């Protein structure tokens, strides 16, 4: 927001020529507007304090007062209206058929149904607005040959041909609902259909449906359990095999070192001092005579660092 000051000397009395003050008109959904936006008092720039949700607040307004620094100060008021634009942040919600975890809902189609017979209608809504709330319906998966179609705009499920004996009695249709946002969001719904002419037949097929569902759930549980057991046994065997190989490798290393020949170590000049007597070493002695004195002997075989043996 901008305002033009009066270019007179009496307006240039302070550091700032204009001051923007905000006077809030009312609260929005019980919250003050100050929790949504803020106005800079020096330049009038409006900032968002937090993000906005179109589903909660679609628009709001407030007043901003621009006041100069003259004497007396003059001011004017402007009304600012904020419009929130919608974003595609919500997927479609399926209202019918209701998806329940414990019970199963099935639609009945007589065997004599004509082409275009209305089986049921998928009802969905999107809390977004504009083109983000435009929904389209598509048949993603069906049992057996093509027997049904889904209206692109209205979600109506109709037959596209006559029912034959080759058609399965129990039909399972997967319908996907997409909105027109960017990026598009979708939801999936399962529609169960029973091809029968009477209610008792429908009841029996409905019971079979439930039993098949329970059987499939049990089968899935046992398959997962078997896979877990097999994986555990495989890992256990792998650990045992690796442990045995490491143990054998260590044993072979120990045996290898124990079979190595023992090579004795002889100090230098050892071979020159070998003898054939009862002693292991032959000692060479050198003697020096002195007049009326003791005799000193030196062991040449053993390095005694100048140690002499004294004899008389």
Of 59, 58, 57, 77, residue with least CA distance to 67: 77
Compute the radius of gyration of the chain from its Cα atoms: 50
pLDDT of 54 > 60? The answer is yes
pLDDT-derived band at 43 (thresholds 50, 70, 90) equals confident
**How much is the pLDDT for 56?**
84
Pick 17 or 158 by higher pLDDT: 158
Q: Which backbone phi and psi does 58 adopt, to 5 degrees?
A: -95, -30
Q: 33-42 burial, b if ≥16 CB within 10 A, otherwise e?
A: beebbebeee
Cα separation of 32 and 23, whole Å? Answer: 11
CA angle 263, 268, 269 (to 5 degrees): 115
pLDDT of 98 > 90? The answer is no
Q: Which backbone phi and psi does 228 adopt, to 5 degrees?
A: -65, -40
pLDDT of 116 > 90? The answer is yes
pLDDT-derived band at 10 (thresholds 50, 70, 90) equals very low
Say if strands 18-23 and 59-68 run parallel, antiparallel, or are unpaired.
antiparallel
pLDDT of 246 > 50? The answer is yes
**How much is the pLDDT for 11?**
42
Close Cβ partners of 183 (under 8 Å, ≥ 6 residues apart): 88
pLDDT of 7 > 50? The answer is no
Contact by Cβ (8 Å): 53, 90:
no
Contact by Cβ (8 Å): 102, 217:
no
For residues 107, 112, 113 and 119, what is the CA-based torsion angle, rounded to 10 degrees? 0
pLDDT-derived band at 118 (thresholds 50, 70, 90) equals very high
Q: 266-278 burial, b if ≥16 CB within 10 A, otherwise e?
A: eeeeeeeeeeeee
**How much is the pLDDT for 301?**
47
Of 109, 107, 119, 114, residue with least CA distance to 197: 109
Cα separation of 199 and 107, whole Å? Answer: 11
pLDDT of 154 > 60? The answer is yes
pLDDT of 304 > 80? The answer is no
Close Cβ partners of 65 (under 8 Å, ≥ 6 residues apart): 20, 21, 22, 23, 75, 76, 77, 78
Strand partners, 198: none
pLDDT-derived band at 276 (thresholds 50, 70, 90) equals low
Of 174, 209, 158, 181, residue with least CA distance to 94: 174
Region 18-24: mean pLDDT is 52
Region 211-230: mean pLDDT is 79
- Mean pLDDT is lowest, of 20-29, 96-105, 146-155, for 20-29
Burial tier of 19 (Cβ tally within 10 Å: 0-12, 13-18, 19+): middle
Pick 145 or 298 by higher pLDDT: 145
Return the sign of the alpha-carbon dihedral for residues 161, 163, 166, 172: positive
Burial tier of 144 (Cβ tally within 10 Å: 0-12, 13-18, 19+): exposed
**pLDDT more than 90, % of the chain:** 27
Of 125, 132, 167, residue with least CA distance to 146: 167
pLDDT-derived band at 21 (thresholds 50, 70, 90) equals low
Round the average pLDDT of the chain to a whole number and report it.
76
Of 181, 178, 183, residue with least CA distance to 92: 178
pLDDT of 71 > 70? The answer is yes
pLDDT-derived band at 25 (thresholds 50, 70, 90) equals low
- Token digits for 231? 């994986």
């Amino acid at each position: 927001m901008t305002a033009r000051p009066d270019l007179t000397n009496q307006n240039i009395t302070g550091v700032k020529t204009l001051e923007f003050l905000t006077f809030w008109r009312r609260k929005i959904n019980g919250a003050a507007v100050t929790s949504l936006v803020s106005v800079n008092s020096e330049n009038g720039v409006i900032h968002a304090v937090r993000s906005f949700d179109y589903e909660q607040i679609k628009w709001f307004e407030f007043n901003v007062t621009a006041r100069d620094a003259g004497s007396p100060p003059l001011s004017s008021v402007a009304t600012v209206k904020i419009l929130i634009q919608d974003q595609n942040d919500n997927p479609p919600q399926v209202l019918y058929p209701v998806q329940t975890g414990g019970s199963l809902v099935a639609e009945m189609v007589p065997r004599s149904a004509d082409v275009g017979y209305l089986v049921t209608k998928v009802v969905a809504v999107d809390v977004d607005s504009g083109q983000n709330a435009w929904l389209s319906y598509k048949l993603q998966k069906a049992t057996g040959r093509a027997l049904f179609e889904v209206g692109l705009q209205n979600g109506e499920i109709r037959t596209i041909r006559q029912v034959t004996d080759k058609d399965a009695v129990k039909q399972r249709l997967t319908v996907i609902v997409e909105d027109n946002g960017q990026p598009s969001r979708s939801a999936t719904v399962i529609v169960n259909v029973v091809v029968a002419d009477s209610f008792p037949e429908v009841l029996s097929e409905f019971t079979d449906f439930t039993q098949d569902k329970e059987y499939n759930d049990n089968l899935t549980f046992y398959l997962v359990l078997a896979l877990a057991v097999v994986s555990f046994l495989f890992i256990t065997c792998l650990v045992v095999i690796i442990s045995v190989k490491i143990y054998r490798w260590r044993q072979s290393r120990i045996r290898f070192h124990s079979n190595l020949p023992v090579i004795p170590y002889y100090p230098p000049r050892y071979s020159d001092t070998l003898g054939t007597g009862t002693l292991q070493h032959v000692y060479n002695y050198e003697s020096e005579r002195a007049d009326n004195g003791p005799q000193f002997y030196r062991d040449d075989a053993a390095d005694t660092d100048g140690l002499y043996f004294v004899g008389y």
